[in-house]
Structures are given as structure tokens and as C-alpha cells.
Amino acid sequence: MKNFILFCLYFCPLIASAQKKLNYLSHTKTAQEIEAIDNKMDKIFYTICGEFNNKTQADTSQNPLLNVSQDILAVPIWLSRTGERWLYMAWFKHAAPEKALTHAIFKLSKENRDTFRLTAYVIPNEEENNFYAYEWLKEKPFEELKPKDLQHFDNCYNLIVANTQGGFDILPNPDLCSLKPSGNLHFISFAATLNTNVIYHYTHYFDKNKKKVFGYDYNQGFRLERLDKNKPMYEKIKKQKVSY
């Protein structure tokens, strides 16, 4: 009995610590931590990363484009690649993390002193890898992939600049991106406003003929609120079989 008590006193804190490190948001930052970042590129990167949902907007909006709850998860990946900043971003129907509505890998790079570039990439061999379901739960997501494995389409990038309100604007690319999000949607025009606690998306979606299907206008936008990284929404998730 004495040995068991000693075992618990020594190893239980280590076990708890290890479990804590497996928090899938462990490499993101809180709003307060983001505010304290001086480096502009790092500030943009960690503002994009985190866990968000539009529940507040969805619960009050009468707009059918805005009153459906969705969750967005963005986590840093490939942290060992010195000097590079990569992230994985996925959109989920609220409380349905087993099946991403759409997802992609992004690289943030510096264009010049005051302008940054966010480039989107397609994840390869999705069907063979069960669409990488729950990959973001791993301690090192996409560890088996390298940047050269990703597929990039022309015009699937956006420039980012600081705005006068203390945040950043992801500017729309004048040319449509052919990063097919889902179903009959074949092209997108992505834009957003980044703030520490709230992000607004102004994305427009187009069919194969480049005819606009729907989009979020600049008057309201798709409003996403940052969630507490220390209370992950899917912390106690039970993995379910993925069907597509």
C-alpha cells in the first residue's frame, strides 16, 4: 500500500501533465496572450489560430445564411519547421467534429514590411486517409506530410494588412480561388477581418460557371467568437465513424 501511494505521488502529476499537453489547442494562444505579442506576423498567425463558433450570431439572426451554428478550428502544425508558419483549418457543423464540412492547410508568410500572405493548400489523398478525420486531435497533426505533398491552385492566396481599428484585414483576391469547398461550390473569394476575440468572414461562393451562389456581405459578415483554449469544445470527444 505504501509503495502504491508513493507511486501515485510521483507519477500521477506526470500523467496529468502529459494529458494536459495533449489538449489540441495547446499550441494556440489566449486573447490576452495574443494582445501581448509585438511581432506582427506572429500576432496575425495566433489571431487566426484557435477554436471559434458563430453561436451568438446564429441564435439571434433571421438570415438563413447566418442562423446555422458552425465551429471553426485552426491549429498550428509543423512547428519544427523553423521560420515557417503553417496551420490546419477546418469548418464543422456545430458539435459534429467527426466530419469537416471543408478544410485546408494554410501557410502564413511575409510579403513585405507591412503586408503578409496567407496561402491555401489542398490536403492530398483525402479519401485514402478517411479525409483525415480527427487528425487535429493528434499531438503532431499531419506529421507524415510535408509542404511539397500539398497541392496549390492559382489565386488561392490572400494578402493581409493592418487596419485602423487595431486588427487586420484579409483582403479579397481579385481572382477567384478554385479551392473547391464542397458540393456544387467550385470557387471562392475569401476575405475576413481579424480581431483578437472576434473574426468576421466575408467569403463568397461560386458554382462551376463562376456564378455566385451565396456570400457573407460586409455589413454583417459571418461572426466567429474565440473560445477558451483552456476549455476545448471537443476535449471529451468520443470518436465516431466517419461517413461521407
pLDDT-above-90 percentage for the chain: 75
pTM of structure:
0.88
Cα distance between residue 169 and residue 202, in whole Å:
11
* pLDDT over 60 at 62, yes or no: yes
When pLDDT is cut at 50, 70 and 90, the band that residue 232 belongs to is very high
pLDDT value of residue 184 = 86
Angle at 71 between CA 171 and CA 61, to 5 degrees: 80
Does residue 13 register a pLDDT over 70? no
pLDDT in tens, 73-100: 999 999 999 889 999 999 999 999 998 9
Architecture of domain 2-226: Beta Barrel (2.40)
The predicted structure's pLDDT at residue 235: 81
Q: Assign 3-state DSSP to the chain and report helix, strand, coil percentages, each to 5.
A: 20, 30, 50
Longest dimension (CA), the chain: 74
Domain boundaries, the chain: 2-226
Give 150-176 pLDDT, tens digit per residue: 999 889 999 999 999 999 999 999 999
How far apart CA 24 and CA 123 sit, in angstroms, is 19
pLDDT tens, residue by residue, 124-160 = 998 899 999 999 999 999 999 999 999 998 899 999 9
The number of C-alpha atoms within 13 Å of 130 and in the hemisphere containing its C-beta is 9
